[in-house]
Amino acid sequence: MTPAEMEVLIGTHMLAEEHGDPERAVSVYTEDVEHDVVGFPGDPIHGVQAALERYHQLVKDLRVEKAERTHTYYSDDAATTEDLITAVATGAFLGIPGNNRRITFRMLHVFEFKDGRISRENVWLDGASIAAQLTAAA
């Protein structure tokens, strides 16, 4: 795939996440997609239905306000993106009550592509930064 073709899929996916639209977020996945959030219990998960369930929970727990891309790297069938995320933790995030706190953290995605769709999404979060922000005295 070309970088431009990858960007259409990544952009659709990330914008859907930002707008809290789980169905649109998974619409660019292959049926057998692997979704792996490093450090989440039970990961990786497989298939669109499992990913959809994860995104439904995510939009309950986290409202993304801004996703700012800082770096992108492409290879033949993969792309790696680094983003700075600003969000409000409306539910429990990483097992920590969010209490409607605004948090900012770095996130790295490794996307793999097959048959013109995203076949794997590997997510790395700055969990230490998230935990520190969610547990700091108000």
23 dihedral zone (left: phi>0; alpha: psi -120 to 50; beta): alpha
What count of other Cβ atoms lies within 10 Å of the Cβ of residue 102? 12
Q: Quick one: pLDDT at residue 40?
A: 81
For range 109-115, the mean pLDDT:
98
13-54 pLDDT, tens digit each: 999 998 999 999 999 999 999 999 998 878 899 999 999 999
pTM: 0.92
Residue 123 pLDDT class (50, 70, 90 cuts)? very high
Q: How many residues does the chain have?
A: 138
Could you tell me where the DSSP H helices lie in the chain?
3-18, 22-26, 48-61, 127-135
